[in-house]
A = this chain, B = another copy of it.
Amino acid sequence: MTATASERRARRNRLATAIPEIPALLASGGLRGRNYAANPYPYRASSHFLYLAGEGIPNAYLLVHGDEHTLFLPKPEPDDALWHGPQPSIDEWSERVGCPVRPLGDLPRAIPPNTATIAPVDPAACLELEVLLGRSLEPSHRTDPDHLLELAMVELRLRHDDAAKRGLRAAAKATSAAHIAGMRATRVGRREWEIKAAMEHAIQTLGLSTSYPPIVTVHGEVLHNHAYGGELQSGDILLADVGAESVDGWAGDVTRSWPVDGEFNGPQRDIYEMVLRSQQTAIQACRVGVSYESVHLQACHSLTEDLVTLGILRGDPQTLVADGVHALFFPHGVGHLLGLDVHDMEDLGDRAGYTEGRTRSAQFGLCHLRLNRELEADMAVTIEPGFYQVPGLLHDLKWRERVGDRVDWERLAAFASVRGIRIEDDILVTASEPENLTRTVPRDPGDIRALVGDS
């Protein structure tokens, strides 16, 4: 169930309490043309609007000023009934969103002075908002009220209310169905796009969509691989990073890496279990008060200890991690915030991910960490360590020089059949145990073996 009208109102009231003096105007954004204006991409409202209104409504605005909340809607076109069918009435909108509704034409005169906003990703809506507010929304022109609104939205959206948790659970459920369908559809000789199609089908047949462009590849070492033409060959590992989005916009984000034949070979299994141990360690570390950077470093330590045990790295794990040597095989961060955006509130840069005053590390690996905050109850994060053999890094002379004899290249050659493995789940931080929202997605090699090719 999507947020009730009173849950939507409660969100807006919390915003107004946080910035009592500052009126906030949020744009939903419009439909965006794919190859021409009337052939649009699937509609997705701005997440800030979506959060406060509870659903996406094209070309709408929400004005929150103290306890006055008003939804401004465009007038229906005369032809709407013919082309788009009966639309909700003003009263229905008002009931759903839980506030009065006024025509968009009233908005220019209704905007109080010093109204704050957040630029929507839709450029046309951004332009319209600039005209409405009479000022540029370029980052360098943001006003003090804009900054205070951003901070207030971050505070609100960092911790998930009951409606948000329902949304995240709905997304997790469909995400789980997608991964099971992907494992079942896997066959030697198929193309990556066939597995992607099976996974998206599992999501769409539940009435949901994807929350980000899926990664479904036998070249998991390419971190954001959006090509799907590769053929699944015996001995390959398929890496699938696919998440569903609930009807009200909440994201799932899960990665699994499974053997195309159902069974890992020995070196693959060693690496898989190493990544899984690192992931479970990091998940268990997701506790109230713990900094996410330390969760990341615990994942790195776990990986590094195992890499030493496997004989791939040489040296003291602590020192190897401090020197960033592990990042040769694990170049990205262990995860990120999860919410209405799969990288939640990334439209605000690092404002949501990094506690005020903290900035990105310059060290390779850590510089890609998207989250550096103390965890709090009701935050949702992903935990997604991985192991990759990226040719561009492994053959880079500067890397070779930097790691010296701390990498046993001969020993590494024994693991050549592992190009990329990542295991990712969605974790809700609670006052006690971390809750794995995506626990139903198979991760045990035995469970995976039972599913692969089983359709």
Query: Which residues in A have some Cβ–Cβ distance to B below 8 Å?
Result: 32-42, 44, 46-47, 81-85, 121, 123-124, 191, 193-194, 196-198, 200-201, 204-207, 212-213, 219, 222-229, 249, 331, 340-343, 346-347, 390-393
Contact = CB atoms under 8 A, between A and B. Distances in A.
Contacts of A84: 222, 224-226
Given A33-B121, A39-B342, A194 B200 contact: no
A30 to B, nearest CB: 11
B44 A34 contact: yes
Contact of A204 (B42, B196, B347): B196
Contacts of A229: 207
Nearest to A201: B201
Determine how many copies of this chain the complex contains: 2
A197 B204 contact: yes
A38 B288 CA distance: 29
A82 B41 contact: no
Contacts of A227: 85
A50 B47 CA distance: 32
Contact of A224 (B83, B123, B219): B83
Q: Which 5 A-B pairs have the closest CB atoms?
A: A85-B222, A197-B204, A81-B392, A201-B201, A36-B347
Contacts of A36: 47, 121, 341, 343, 346-347
A184 to B, nearest CB: 13
Interface centre among A38, A219, A343 (most CB of B within 10 A): A38
A84 B9 CA distance: 42
A99 to B, nearest CB: 23
A60 to B, nearest CB: 16
Given A390-B81, A393-B82, A343 B39 contact: yes
Interface centre among A123, A225, A228, A229 (most CB of B within 10 A): A123
Interface centre among A196, A204, A331 (most CB of B within 10 A): A204
